[in-house]
A and B are shown apart, each in its own frame.
Chain A
Amino acid sequence: MSASTIPAHGKEMDPRSDGTHFPMGHLEVATVADPGPAPISKGFRQQLWAALAIGAVLLLLGMKFDPHRVWESVIVNYLFFLILALGGLFLVALEYVASTTWSVVFRRIAEACASYLPVAFILSPLLMLAAPHLYFWARHGFHFHRAEKAWYYSLGGFDFRTGLFLAIWAAFGAFFIGRSLRQDREGDQINERHPGGWGKLSSKNGRMAALYIPVFAVTFTLACADWLMSMQHGWSSSMFGLYAFAGMFEAAFALLVVLAVTMRRRGWLGQIVTDHHYVDLARMLHAFCIFMVYIGFEQYFIIWYSNQNDETAFFHRRLMGGWNWMFLFLLLAKWAVPFVILMNQKVRTKEPVILSMAWLILIAEYCDIYWLVMPVQHAVFTLPSWTDLGAFLLFFGAFALSVSRLLRKHSTVPIGDPKLVNSVAGRYL
């Protein structure tokens, strides 16, 4: 059976079957088979543990030969996997607060990404240890000892905020995942006050998500100011939090695509995810690559146009010494290529196309963080070194183990959600 057919319905889907409207609500699905937990083999998990261990060894060796480079690698890779987890949590919260139906089939995957957050909290001392080596203000004082900011931009303040923000995010993540798993076990009653099909548990989650999103907006902005913006001494941009957010959202979506396609191919999602859902994923990926370029372009444009030297320093550094090629790659991979290719409705159901676009965006997000961090430390373009490989293996191992732990212990879709059947059938209320 080819991957582009819908086994549950036994016919090819034509997304344009009625001109402008996507076919909705005409598919008859009476019950949904629970696909059960993902059968992730013990051998695979052992490989992940091995990757983690090799990464740790490489970093320890790096401490002996090139300690500064180790801290650079740690921050780049730590932040990359952290934003993937945060993006997963944001998708979960967004689903609750907007009461969407289409994304319910993917919620468990997003929750699996978010389940890395407590691990990120445990690993956060690495970030705190890296701080004294990477930040100009840690050595020379923020803006050369401006007294009114010294309390905030001190190492103590940095560590405190890093821990606090990660704890807040991990707590919210644990709340949402816990409620979702409870829904799996106990099922959910339809809440009569919400005819849109909210269960009672999801209804409460909706309220919590409405609280989480503003909290997240503020904490994430402050965290990005700490971790990334303050690395470039003397530079500030009010758009920066939004820039990091746009990258996070795009990358989290790309990861969702990668995981969903891989899991469907292996049959771990049963008959739940159809080409229908691929179209939805591809559309959202398309929309958010436009959002990314909008935010990125406006930030660049306003700084370029006004041409004030304290602001252009940011781009000056990143468009010189070989870093400009990376900038060009970001423009192509985060926007131009996916934008053009995903515009076509027909390719949105083609597994290889959306998978390759998602991989491209994920790689580009890694490069984006590299491009934000490294030019401050190295004026001339520097390739990732073996310490980067070490840090990548360490955090990748931790991330992938968290993801697979949730997926292999629980059903790969939120089986108790009252909206699941509609989500499978493409009946979006």
Chain B
Amino acid sequence: MSTHPAVAPQRPVPAPLEEPPIYREDLTLTKVTEDILAPVFAKPTRQWWTAFLIAASCFAIGVAAVVYQLIVGMGIIGIQWPVMWGTYIANFVFWIGIGHAGTLISAILFLFRQRWRTAINRSAEAMTIFAVMVAGMFPLLHVGRTVIAYWLFPYPNQRHLWVNFRSPLIWDVFAVSTYATISILFWYGGMLPDLATVRDRIAKSGFWKKFYGVISLGWKGHAKDWHHYEVAYAMLAAIATPLVLSVHSNVSTDFATATAPGWHSTIFPPYFVAGAIFSGFAMVVTLLVIVRYVFRLEDYLTIDHMEMMNKVILVTSMMVGYAYFTELFTAWYTSNVYEQYRFYGVHFDPHFWLLFRGPNAVPAYLMWGCNVFIPALFWFRKIRRSIPVMFILTLFVSVGMWFERYTIIVDSQMRQYLPSSWGSYRPTRWDYAVLLGSFGMFFSLFLLFCRFVPVVAVAEVKQALRRQVGEPPAPKPAMEEVNA
């Protein structure tokens, strides 16, 4: 048995610190409900219609391009031997990566008790789901014969199809569908109390009252409801946490298990995960800057929230930078000359007048510039707390991360082992149309989401507010009793 002898205090110690408030001091619970639910009840504003029309038009362009591709065939997009994985795969990896921020915020930050997540988790989770939906389309388009893409699923094998379980592409099917399922459950489960609030605030009975009644699954707000809700939420968070790492690790094995120089690198799994969180947070910041402006939610999506997210962007940017550094170092260190050429030859042509003008140098410089050097500006507190600057910086990050995927995917195929297998690649206008369409789809869905569902988790903000204002006083034991 051990003992803990009491030791007399030798010098005074500062008094405990008080928790800094997350939200404005004068917010009341009623005002929170009214402010956040306002966009759901009000008629759409002119800004909303403008944004939605732009997004929907982009989406329409994408749909037209896809339909045309389905009619005439894959020849219209840029892929050609030896580059058979083009922008569709880059888009797939890009959008899956965007989705990671939502799961990180909702699951990992929840487990870490980061209470600042309460204001941003709803929109980040919604964004995750839309990003995964957009991403899921690209493998279907990429396989060419989209009608029979269901062959990827292991269904009872009457037709003697042998699904290749040893292929990472099949693992992707499972990883992404699991990810989509868990994300939707998480998002929808967390929304139940708020959907019930919307239901209760609809005055007259009718279609919408019934609609919100059905989708809130009869939430009454009883203690029992809350108990089940809290338990389920914590369980889902624990289940979703490995998904943050596993999905993008799995996507990275699409490349890393291949033997192509530049693809086959052991650091790919954590490198892809860090990149995914990086691009995802950048996209969340971009969207929240718009949302807090359009819906007047500056009191809830405070500047402190934005600064926290910018800090995460800065950290993950350095992780990505570390991965770039190790890739370059290992390429120099290795005895594999193909690997070396993939990293140095492609970017630095030996002829002086071609210096920095290798066959795919520009995307590589965009990748370094936008992902490592530009986000380094977030070292400065003023920049982390400036809304216009962070909006521009996060757009740069999105561009940089798209080009990172482009560089990884295309360069390695252009410069394979034998010079006779070298080739070139240039995306066509149809590639760009589909990329534009994917952004259109994503933003259209997000704008619709903002109209039908509270953008900020009302119930969670109220809990945080309650903690800030203070619980109803509980009987406290006297100090003598405590120290006895």
CB–CB B333/A225 < 8 A: yes
CB–CB A2/B1 < 8 A: yes
Q: Is A28 an interface residue (CB 8 A)?
A: yes
Q: Report chain B residues within 8 Å CB of A415.
A: 11, 13
**Nearest CB in chain A: distance from B381 CB, A:** 8
CB–CB B481/A425 < 8 A: no
**Nearest CB in chain A: distance from B265 CB, A:** 5
Q: Report chain B residues within 8 Å CB of A41.
A: none
- Render A118-153 as a binary contact track against B, CB cut-off 8 A, 1 for contact: 000000000000000000000000010010010000
In the complex, the chain B residue whose C-beta lies closest to that of A351 is B2
Query: Which one of B96-104, B119-127, B148-156, B253-261 is at the A interface?
Result: B253-261
CB–CB B7/A36 < 8 A: yes
- Render A32-65 as a binary contact track against B, CB cut-off 8 A, 1 for contact: 1111100000000000000000000000000000
**Nearest CB in chain A: distance from B126 CB, A:** 23
CB–CB A21/B253 < 8 A: no
Q: Is A382 an interface residue (CB 8 A)?
A: no
- A33 and B482 contact, Cβ closer than 8 Å, known pairs A238-B267, A305-B257: no
Interface residues of A in 410-429 (CB under 8 A from B): 415, 418-422, 425, 427-429
**Nearest CB in chain A: distance from B39 CB, A:** 30
Q: Report chain B residues within 8 Å CB of A422.
A: 16-17
User: CA–CA, A35 to B8, complex, Å?
Assistant: 8
Q: Is B373 an interface residue (CB 8 A)?
A: no
User: CA–CA, A281 to B267, complex, Å?
Assistant: 28
Q: Is A265 an interface residue (CB 8 A)?
A: yes
Set A19, A237, A301, A429: member contacting B330, Cβ < 8 A: A237
Set A32, A234, A302, A429: member contacting B19, Cβ < 8 A: A429
Q: Is A383 an interface residue (CB 8 A)?
A: no
CB–CB A294/B4 < 8 A: no
Q: Report chain A residues within 8 Å CB of B270.
A: 239, 242, 294-295, 298
Q: Report chain A residues within 8 Å CB of B231.
A: 19-20
User: CA–CA, A87 to B265, complex, Å?
Assistant: 26
Set B1, B8, B330, B476: member contacting A1, Cβ < 8 A: B1
**Nearest CB in chain B: distance from A414 CB, A:** 11
Interface residues of A in 284-313 (CB under 8 A from B): 294-295, 298-299, 301-303, 305-306, 308, 310
- Render A366-403 as a binary contact track against B, CB cut-off 8 A, 1 for contact: 00000000000000000000000000000000000000
User: CA–CA, A187 to B329, complex, Å?
Assistant: 44
CB–CB B20/A214 < 8 A: no
Count residues on chain B whose CB falls below 8 Å from chain A CBs.
60
Q: Report chain B residues within 8 Å CB of A22.
A: 113
**Nearest CB in chain A: distance from B340 CB, A:** 10
CB–CB A299/B329 < 8 A: no
Q: Report chain A residues within 8 Å CB of B379.
A: 210
Q: Is B233 an interface residue (CB 8 A)?
A: yes
CB–CB B333/A236 < 8 A: yes
CB–CB A236/B334 < 8 A: yes
Q: Is A154 an interface residue (CB 8 A)?
A: no
Interface residues of B in 233-257 (CB under 8 A from A): 233-234, 245, 249, 253, 256-257
CB–CB B335/A34 < 8 A: no
User: CA–CA, A26 to B477, complex, Å?
Assistant: 11
Q: Is B203 an interface residue (CB 8 A)?
A: no
CB–CB B481/A242 < 8 A: no
Count residues on chain A whose CB falls below 8 Å from chain B CBs.
75
**Nearest CB in chain B: distance from A202 CB, A:** 12
Q: Report chain B residues within 8 Å CB of A305.
A: 253, 257
CB–CB B479/A30 < 8 A: yes
In the complex, the chain A residue whose C-beta lies closest to that of B260 is A306
Q: Is A258 an interface residue (CB 8 A)?
A: no
Q: Is B147 an interface residue (CB 8 A)?
A: no
Q: Report chain B residues within 8 Å CB of A20.
A: 230-231, 233-234
Q: Report chain B residues within 8 Å CB of A425.
A: 16
- A294 and B245 contact, Cβ closer than 8 Å, known pairs A33-B7, A429-B20: yes
Query: Which one of B43-51, B66-74, B173-181, B318-326 is at the A interface?
Result: B318-326
Interface residues of A in 3-45 (CB under 8 A from B): 3, 7-10, 19-22, 24-26, 28-36
User: CA–CA, A9 to B266, complex, Å?
Assistant: 49
User: CA–CA, A418 to B14, complex, Å?
Assistant: 6
**Nearest CB in chain B: distance from A14 CB, A:** 16
CB–CB A239/B267 < 8 A: yes
Q: Report chain B residues within 8 Å CB of A242.
A: 267, 270, 326
The 5 closest A-B pairs by CB, nearest first: A195-B20, A239-B266, A238-B267, A197-B17, A238-B330
A-B contact pairs, 13 of them (CB 8 A): A1-B1, A8-B482, A10-B482, A21-B113, A28-B476, A33-B9, A210-B379, A225-B333, A237-B330, A240-B266, A242-B326, A418-B14, A421-B15
A residues whose Cβ falls under 8 Å from a Cβ of B: 1-3, 7-10, 19-22, 24-26, 28-36, 143, 146, 149, 187-188, 190, 195-197, 210, 214, 217-218, 221-222, 225, 229, 234, 236-242, 264-267, 270-271, 294-295, 298-299, 301-303, 305-306, 308, 310, 415, 418-422, 425, 427-429
Besides A1-B3, A264-B2, 10 new A-B residue pairs in contact (Cβ under 8 A), listed by A number: A10-B483, A19-B234, A149-B332, A238-B265, A302-B253, A302-B256, A306-B258, A422-B16, A429-B17, A429-B19
